[in-house]
Amino acid sequence: MGFVEDIKSTYVVVRLWDLRRMVLPLSYFIEQPFQNWTRESSNLLGSVLLYLDYSLPLEQLRTRARAIVEASPLWDHKTFAVQVTDFRDTSMEVRVLVSAGDSGKLFDLRCEIREKVIAFLQAEYPHALPRLRTEIEGPKSGQDALPAGAERSRQIAS
């Protein structure tokens, strides 16, 4: 991804996000498909995906995410949404969808949202952050708590 800086008869100069310049032969654009994100407008949509415990109250997350986005000068005030987009066996996938004036602002806005939402969750809802769960079942009636081999090794050691 980059910005076209110069077009010559045999090559195109593309400025990359890290300010490097990539020089591509014109034939590259003839032979390879590419996307022009700014033909109509430079505004873009971007998403932040969060994987959270089902116990998180979504309205509190939605309220905090809206406050974060509205306070950011990077947001273009056009698109904002917080939605549960998928369920997994251990977590739900929550998407924060936002828009910004160009790809650089969108990248920075998405990073800002991630950092501030993580800080919010750590402070207010640490139980909602990803974690592993294990259920330990007790012995079923009529069965020993330890397997036979484990029982014998304990008797030998004592």
The answer to whether residues 75 and 118 belong to one domain is yes
* 78 within some domain: yes
Is the same domain home to 8 and 60?
A: no
Same domain for 123 and 61, yes or no, is yes
Q: What is the CA radius of gyration of the chain?
A: 26
Residue 151, domain member (yes or no):
no
In this structure, what CATH number is given to the domain that contains residue 56?
Answer: 3.30.70.100
Give residue-wise pLDDT tens across range 37-84.
Answer: 555 555 678 999 999 999 999 999 999 999 999 999 999 999 999 999
Q: Model confidence at 133, in pLDDT bands (50, 70, 90)?
A: low
**What would the mean pLDDT of 93-121 be, rounded to a whole number?**
94
Task: Give me the domain span that covers residue 17.
Answer: 2-31
Same domain, 59 and 95: yes
pLDDT of residue 38: 59
80 within a domain of the structure (yes/no): yes
Would the pLDDT of 147 be above 70? no
Query: What number is the average pLDDT over the span 113-136?
Result: 89
In percent, the amount of the chain with pLDDT more than 90 equals 49
- For residues 10 and 63, membership in a common domain is answered with no
Give the number of domains in the chain. Answer: 2
11 and 52 together in one domain: no
**Above 50 in pLDDT, residue 153?**
no
